[in-house]
Every structure is written in C-alpha cells, then in structure tokens.
Amino acid sequence: MSLINEYRNIEENIKELQERLKNMSQDDKLKKELEFEGKLRTLMGEYQKSLRDIIALLDPEAKVGKSTRAAKPVATKRARKVKQYKNPHSGEVIETKGGNHKTLKEWKAKWGADVVEGWATLLG
C-alpha cells in the first residue's frame, strides 16, 4: 500500500471515529454513567477509599488483583491399568502396568509383540 493510500485510510478512520464519538457524547445513558462515575470518585476521595476497598465492601468474597486468576488444575497422569499376560506355552503369568518388564520383553522377542499382546487380559 502506498503512503498516500495509507494516509487516506487513516484519515477516513479518524472521521468515522469522530462521528461515533459525537453520537456517543449525545447519548443520555453515557451522560448518566459519566455523572455517576464522577460522583463515585468524589465520594471515594472524600473518604480516602480505593476501588479495591469498595469492591471488598460490596462483595467480600471477590478476590482482587493477581489472586483473581483461577489456578490451573494440576494435570495428573492417567493411571495405567494392570495387564495380565498368560504364556500358553509355559503357563507362566505376569501382571504389569507397563511394557518394561524383563520377562515380558523376552516373550516379545521370542514370539513377537503382536502375539504376546494377544495373551493379555485387562485387570483394571
């Protein structure tokens, strides 16, 4: 975009925002809110109270500041389920939660991982 085009776009945006500001300044709701804010700030100054004091007064359970952020729930790992492997050749039974079992590794090396996984039953 050329510099002159950018200038014209910004100029157009400014005119549009000025028109919106003019319309808002004539709105009775805005006038009432500004009046309320002014009176509230005057009253707060008169009693040397801050916005936090006012919030604590009106809603004692509300937490203000950095402590309002909800703590992220601690992600816990899903517990592994116990598997029971029964070797049909020897009748030996192994119960394990993971695949890092010495005998299980030996079986998988000898008969193949797919075959050994077929021997598994889920205990819970």
pLDDT of residue 69: 57
Domain boundaries, the chain: 1-56, 80-121
pLDDT digits (tens, 9 = 90+) for 37-77: 999 999 999 999 998 888 888 888 877 555 555 667 777 88
DSSP code string of 14-79: HHHHHHHHHHHHT-HHHHHHHHHHHHHHHHHHHTT--HHHHHHHH-TT---GGGGSPPPPPP-PPP
pLDDT higher for 73 or 35? 35
For the segment 78-97, the average pLDDT, to the nearest whole number, is: 89
Nearest to 105 by CA among 117, 89, 123, 122: 117
The tokens describing 97, both together, are 């939660």
The predicted pLDDT at position 70 comes to: 61
Cβ atoms of residues 85 and 107 within 8 Å = yes
98 or 86, which is more confident:
86
Higher pLDDT, 67 or 91: 91
